[in-house]
């Protein structure tokens, strides 16, 4: 696994194939029988399962002996999470499932490669635009092979996408009261595969994440940091894929200065 550069084309081919075979033919064409609920407001589709099965098999062939942690595998067996401290692939086979199931964009596929609890490479694929955001630790962030540097929106009041999900009404009211005088508040895309690119491409300046599963955030946090933005826990600690539950909120920003100002002002 030393030559990570050689992985980019192979991973792109796998993600593109999975999207072409399983995802795009079913976009806006799912039947009721192809969608189930794992929990409240937490759907899973036939696409999630097909793509994860395909990628698990393909990545296992690509790197024999490297563990695989897939979102749906974890749902079926929580002990799969124990693999996160090993060298492992992390798969979100359909990020933005709720959007996809409703026939809406955005949605994507996310794959990360981690070792000893830290992401060392990540790939975020948008099947609609065929865009691949990818990064390797210490080597910068790229989009479709071209190096990218994070840029801010340039707005006087930084554009901030704050998730209201998984918070009480009181928490939402407090956060909005704190932020409204200083930030332009916008809705989240409900898709980490889209939110992280927005934080580097001059669309959003800030976003907070209360729920920080590794399949949602391992690749994106690495990519944003490598682009020159910042993705860290609100207490200043790094994001680790083996963090587990109960960790402080994750904050992503288009620049370290914007991250610092936001954390100093708020209690997210």
Q: What ranges do the domains of the chain cover?
A: 4-147, 159-265
Find out whether 97 and 50 touch, Cβ atoms under 8 Å: no
Q: What is the pLDDT of residues 43-69, one digit of tens each?
A: 999 999 999 999 999 999 999 999 999
CATH of domain 159-265: 3.40.190.80
Report residue 191's pLDDT band, with 50, 70 and 90 as the boundaries: very high
State in Å, rounded, how far the first CA of the chain is from the last one: 38
Q: Model's pTM, two decimal places?
A: 0.95
Report residue 2's pLDDT band, with 50, 70 and 90 as the boundaries: very low
Average model confidence (pLDDT) across the chain? 94
Q: What is the pLDDT of residues 238-254, one digit of tens each?
A: 999 999 888 999 999 99
- Mean pLDDT to the nearest integer, 5-31: 95
Residues near 42 by beta carbon (within 8 Å), at least 6 away in sequence: 98
Q: What is the pLDDT of residues 108-156, one digit of tens each?
A: 999 999 999 999 999 999 999 999 999 999 999 999 999 999 999 999 9
- List the Cα angle 206/4/68 in 5-degree steps: 75
The whole-number pLDDT of residue 4 equals 64
**pLDDT for residue 78 is more than 80:** yes
Report residue 1's pLDDT band, with 50, 70 and 90 as the boundaries: very low
The whole-number pLDDT of residue 210 equals 87
The whole-number pLDDT of residue 166 equals 67
Q: Please determine, looking at this structure, whether the domain spanning 4-147 carries the CATH number 3.30.540.10.
A: yes
Question: Among residues 201, 218, 210, which one has the least CA distance to residue 254?
Answer: 201
Q: How far is CA 112 from CA 115, 135, 158, in A?
A: 10, 9, 29
**pLDDT for residue 174 is more than 80:** yes
């Amino acid at each position: 696994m030393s030559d990570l550069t050689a992985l980019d084309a192979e991973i792109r081919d796998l993600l593109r194939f999975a999207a072409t075979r399983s995802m795009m033919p079913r976009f806006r064409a799912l039947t009721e029988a192809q969608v189930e609920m794992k929990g409240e407001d937490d759907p899973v589709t036939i696409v999630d399962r097909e793509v994860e099965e395909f990628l698990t098999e393909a990545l296992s062939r690509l790197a024999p002996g490297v563990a695989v942690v897939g979102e749906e595998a974890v749902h079926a067996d929580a002990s799969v999470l124990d693999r996160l401290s090993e060298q492992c692939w992390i798969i979100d086979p359909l990020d933005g499932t709720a959007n996809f199931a409703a026939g809406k964009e955005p949605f994507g596929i996310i794959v990360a490669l981690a070792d000893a609890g830290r992401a060392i490479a990540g790939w975020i694929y948008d099947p609609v635009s065929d865009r691949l955001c990818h990064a390797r630790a210490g080597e910068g962030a790229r989009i479709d092979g071209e190096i990218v540097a994070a840029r801010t929106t340039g707005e006087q009041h930084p554009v901030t996408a704050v998730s209201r999900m998984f918070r009480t009404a009181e928490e939402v009211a407090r956060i909005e009261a704190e932020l409204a005088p200083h930030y332009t508040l916008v809705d989240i895309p409900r898709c980490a595969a889209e939110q992280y690119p927005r934080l580097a491409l001059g669309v959003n300046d800030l976003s907070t994440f209360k729920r920080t599963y590794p399949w949602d955030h391992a690749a994106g946090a690495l990519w944003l940091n490598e682009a020159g933005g910042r993705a860290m826990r609100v207490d200043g600690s790094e994001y680790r894929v083996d963090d587990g539950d109960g960790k402080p909120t994750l904050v992503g920003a288009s620049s370290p200065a914007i991250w610092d100002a936001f954390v100093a002002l708020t209690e997210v």
